[in-house]
Structure 1
């Protein structure tokens, strides 16, 4: 096998790419990981904005495939900050000696399936051509930044930043007038820290979100020891829970409880911190009555915290809680009580254009020295479609998916007409509705098992069948339609992208990681039912 020929090419050196490399290399395959950055980390390499941290408890935001690896690392905080997560991923890369098989500072520009050779031909921005039997995307759901095409962006004479591409050396906003556009997770995490430095901070907000308090704190030695001893409990969550994480729940609908008990439970999870507002009652995501109880509780909390009633009202979300990503923050609502922090609702006063000294709104101009774009990502499909991936007969994936508007996959893992192409946490899998390491481990394990089967049976290619894609899309839609998700436009549906219409169908499997795992395992147990296998020794 020549230097440019591999058994598998994996794109991305975040959680997904690192674990995929480890598994396939353990199987004896020759693997090359292609990574655009100059180090490992994926999203956590790039997202260095102030306050960046995970929103799963650190003890779950970790690999569990190896007890030894799990117990060698200690998380310093309940919700670990970006530098510590990046340190962890570097620790994993070193412990498993993964760096020799990672090619840094390289982007995949094109990947084409050669039907005659039954191989993927991969081109990079370093003018290399690589060949591999398997082509695996580990690029993640939230890695391609999205800046809406505001008129005049290039004319602004101040500083411009995107939270997903923050300067490594950091930014000092001391004495500056800062405008932040967007208040998703990155905006909510960054604003309280920027507010401590800035002379003036103005949030331009399109949609107010529900923000739960993180109640983040350092982990004591005793708490770290307990996490080490609880490995089996942590590991169990990856397999048995809908989100791949143990979270507090009454196990009951809010409608089964009297108002005083509802309030007691909601106060408990609010004071405990974290994402339990989404799980405290068993039917938050499906019952309008229960959802209203939880949503109204947060709106009441906003009214308690924010002193100006008009500002508080602007911060009231009006959608069903959990149908957009539930955000955890620290003292987010409190900053709106500070004299130098301003709030502008873009629904009332839209952005017209960006000008050289600030942002021109329909009603006046906000002058500033710096603009922070906390405008999110081209999620779910953006990073995959950014690569020019072509299947049989040169069919572009972008064309098959109509630029991400009509996503067709089987299990979120495979695409018809794209043989031996696998996606880790791809669209139509549970992905972003879970603790990401849980979904990543499940996907990588499944792909590894599949490749083992293909190699042992000398199978040349595997790909989804068209009818399996149709059935899987229907299953994803049918489950989503039993919930409140379809009532809300969100980045889950691509509604944050300029010029984008709501995607056709729901691109996340919302039936829970535990149920999804059973479906995937059953498919494998039936010798990859729903897949077309081509080659020797294929079992019917």
Structure 2
């Protein structure tokens, strides 16, 4: 019997089972949390996963072209040396199925599946102030008690389907990229409408164009997409990164982005025009995020410097699209390069040179309604056999808002966050004791290589839990002062850059009515790690601990 069960055998009046921890979600975050809590700390834990299998993002997002945009050799766990050495990646940027295979291998290797309950969505988590435990309910009727709740929900897991008039009237097939049929979709001989041209839309458009009779892409905002630069991994490259993993992980754990990229180390103004051209071209030709994350130091803070690289990328787009009118539609002009997430592409611009691909600018001719046969815009109706929505997610806060989470005094988390998320370190929110978020809002999360950020979070959370266990402490939550300071700091860091000026999902701008605040933490993964380590070293400053006796007194 666990320590929590020994101390509170009657916790949760309706609970049928009691655990030290309930973990919500079985993606990268949930799997590592389970391993850490159960296998390394000896705690009882149950993972609830809404999907029919583990994998999180990589279980749900099976659309054509879905693949990681992080180098495979660092898009993985680093906590186990044997796992690092034994797994063989096939490509620089692995496809969805390969990442899913990896996560399934991890679950088997560490015997995680026995404590994961699939096809079970958590509907509520309510803190009981009498027992100081969480009552967790699911859509399958489970009612369990837990001392700790670990939200491994994923930042991009609440799919966003736009509220377009007539959506339900469409008589053809309709798909959202985040809820793709597991059996796949055959678009051969079909007329397809694709709505959305973010990172996912660009991936899926490139694939559908090869298969469909005709593809019409509905674009609201053009993006600065740059080449993916994918390639198979040969034996020599595998040997090289496996032999140098210590140095690689030291780099990605402590640099700004958690990727194997480093900035140039000087400002754009310090470089001659020929040097800039060479630097841009080298990064563009190599592919990946280099042009974004390994460029001149001031590109995301200095408007004049950014204008240089923005125009350089625009020229590359114009070079690749034959029709000047179409090229102009695909060329961004309303935001600065890198202030939106930079999509990686593999032949995306060239699909618009094909006879079977059309482009509709919905800023100039907005979509008025979905009809039984297709899409009506201000300039007429387009008929389709299938519609694909690549319209993204209610990012970062959306997954939390979908669950009835109630803390002290029965306060709803979504009510507390009504004007924007309020957290300390992106890990906890005051008034919601013993509830931890992995890569939650106001942590670096989506601005980093997620597995590296996830490992940092899980390890830090396990550290504070160990501190509680060792010191007989029952509950922990942030102080309001620490939370207020972190919220202010998070916004100040973001607003020192150009990023908040763009209407992005980083700002919640893709969801009507959502508060316009910068959601992730822009201070960088390395500095954020240092801050978290400093907090822990200073007896977890900014957190308030208590045991039951103190609380009752």
Normalising by structure 2, report the TM-score.
0.95
Per-residue deviation, residues 388-436 of structure 1 (Å, max 9, x unmatched): 100011111011111xx42110000001000000000000000000000
- State yes or no: 1:213 paired with 2:219: no
Aligned to 2:13: none
- Counterparts of 1:11-410 in structure 2, within 5 Å, are 11-25=24-38, 26-278=40-292, 279-318=294-333, 319-402=335-418, 405-410=419-424
Q: Post-superposition shift, 1:46?
A: 0.3
d(CA) in 1 for partners of 2:279, 2:80 = 36
Aligned to 2:459: 445
d(CA) in 2 for partners of 1:174, 1:253 = 49
- State yes or no: 1:422 paired with 2:431: no
8 Å contact 1:458–1:537 — kept in the other structure? no
Q: Post-superposition shift, 1:228?
A: 1.3
Q: Any idea what SS the aligned residue of 1:459 has?
A: coil
Q: Any idea what SS the aligned residue of 2:540 has?
A: coil
8 Å contact 2:508–2:518 — kept in the other structure? no
8 Å contact 1:489–1:502 — kept in the other structure? no
Per-residue deviation, residues 324-357 of structure 1 (Å, max 9, x unmatched): 1011010001111111110111110000000000
8 Å contact 2:62–2:180 — kept in the other structure? yes
Match of 1:500 among 506, 509, 513: 513
d(CA) in 2 for partners of 1:537, 1:324 = 50
Aligned to 1:462: 476
d(CA) in 2 for partners of 1:204, 1:519 = 43
d(CA) in 1 for partners of 2:343, 2:207 = 16
In structure 2, relative to structure 1, the CA distance for the partners of 1:434 and 1:107 (3 Å cut) is same
d(CA) in 1 for partners of 2:187, 2:297 = 43
d(CA) in 2 for partners of 1:300, 1:443 = 40
Q: Post-superposition shift, 1:537?
A: 11
Normalising by structure 1, report the TM-score.
0.97
Runs of 4+ in 1 over 6 A off after TM superposition: none
Q: Any idea what SS the aligned residue of 1:324 has?
A: coil
d(CA) in 2 for partners of 1:334, 1:190 = 14
d(CA) in 2 for partners of 1:281, 1:165 = 38
Structure 2: state its 5+ residue gaps: 10-15
Aligned to 2:12: none
How many residues align structurally?
Answer: 534
Q: Post-superposition shift, 1:250?
A: 2.2
Per-residue deviation, residues 346-377 of structure 1 (Å, max 9, x unmatched): 11000000000000101101111110000001
Q: Any idea what SS the aligned residue of 1:68 has?
A: helix
Structure 1: state its 5+ residue gaps: none
